[in-house]
Amino acid sequence: MWSQIGSLLISFFQIGLFSIGGGYATIPLIQEQVVDLHHWLNFQEFTDIITISQMTPGPIAVNTSTFVGLRIAGFPGAAVSTFGCVISGFCISLLLFCFFQKFKKSDRISDVLKGLRSTSIGLIISAAVTILIIAFCGVSDPKLIQSFQWIAAVIFLGAFFLLRKFKLNPILVMVLCGIVGVIVY
């Protein structure tokens, strides 16, 4: 158990180091550590945890680290995973704040930030595509796609339509989708 707790700490510390871009940008990083590298979860479990992490209050990376840690090593795993995810981001944010206060008028720093913004957008798009492939095909690797789940696509499009056209409350739409999911699946 202690080796798992140590692995959780190291993995989520690494995720925290590179999660400055924000919540959805971290999903590919978390998937690589949790599913691909350590095999703590399969793709379906990972998708379920991401879904729960989005529905609960707080940052998605912190929520996901807590849920994964809890699943792997109970409460100690949850505490260590959350700490690992948060502490690296906290330290980096503190260092960046000090750095930008010193060089806030520099044109070169402004250019670097523009490049980082583009990278963050790319990571978010990658996460969105991965989530859609998992939701509609049941796997995260496009090479392994064997079937397309039309019912999931119809539910997704219906939810999207309700949110955009009628501006329904997202919580109500999630409840409706949950009810449809229970009925259909």
Tens-digit pLDDT string for the chain (185 aa)? 788 999 999 999 999 888 765 667 788 889 999 999 999 999 889 988 988 988 888 888 899 999 999 999 999 999 999 999 999 878 888 998 898 888 878 888 888 888 888 888 888 888 788 888 888 887 777 777 788 889 999 999 999 999 999 999 999 999 999 999 899 98
Q: Are residues 110 and 184 in the same domain?
A: no
Whether 48 and 111 share a structural domain = yes
Boundaries of domain holding 94: 2-147
Q: Cβ(49)–Cβ(18) under 8 Å?
A: no
- Do 110 and 77 belong together in one domain? yes
74 and 98, same domain (yes or no)? yes
Considering the domain architecture, whether residues 67 and 14 belong to the same structural domain is answered as: yes
What per-residue confidence (pLDDT) applies to 3? Answer: 87
CA gap 44, 51 in Å, rounded: 11
88 lies in the same domain as 107: yes
Cβ atoms of residues 34 and 68 within 8 Å: yes
Task: Identify the three-state secondary structure at position 56.
Answer: coil
How buried is residue 34: exposed, middle or buried, by Cβ count under 10 Å (0-12/13-18/19+)?
buried
- Count, in order, helices (H) and strands (E) of the chain: 7, 0
Q: 110 and 162, same structural domain?
A: no
Count the domains in the chain: 2
DSSP, res 185: -
Token look-up 């503190």 returns: 94
Count of Cβ atoms closer than 10 Å to residue 82 Cβ = 24
Residues 98 and 178 in one domain: no
Residues 30 and 65 both lie in one domain: yes
CA dist., res. 83 & res. 6, Å (int): 12
| Residues 143, 181 within the same domain | no
